[in-house]
């Protein structure tokens, strides 16, 4: 017997691999091994990145010093901190999105 993890539909046909209702991959209820979602693992792993504001502030201050030295027009301290913090958060989002894209490519290329 197989079950859909998303909508909870159960199927007696062991030849089916995908849910007819929502299209999610079905999991075998008779299987002894535990199945986990790779996307869920990466989501949990990435949660610490944006939650540590003290660390983000320290990084933003360092980035501000780098950007401030290299910029043509000097930014005042507040604007520099905001720019550096936003740049850091954008870098984190880009990194997470690239990881999601690579995981989706792996999933879609499986036979």
**Dist. CA 111–CA 25, nearest whole Å:** 14
Strand partners, 16: none
Domain boundaries, the chain: 1-33, 36-111
Rounded mean pLDDT for each run of 10 residues along the chain, 111 residues in total: 81 77 78 56 52 67 58 56 80 92 87 58
DSSP track, 74-102: PPPHHHHHHHHHHHHHHHHHHHHHHHHHH
């Amino acid at each position: 017997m197989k079950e859909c993890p998303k909508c909870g539909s159960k199927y007696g046909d062991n030849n089916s691999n995908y849910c007819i209702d929502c299209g999610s991959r079905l999991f075998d209820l008779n299987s002894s091994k535990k199945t986990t979602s790779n996307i869920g693992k990466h989501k949990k792993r990435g949660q610490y990145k944006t939650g540590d504001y003290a660390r983000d502030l320290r990084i933003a201050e360092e980035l501000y010093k780098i950007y401030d030295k290299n910029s043509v027009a000097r930014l005042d301290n507040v604007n520099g901190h905001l720019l550096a913090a936003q740049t850091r958060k954008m870098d984190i989002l880009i990194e997470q999105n690239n990881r999601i894209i690579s995981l989706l490519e792996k999933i879609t290329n499986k036979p």
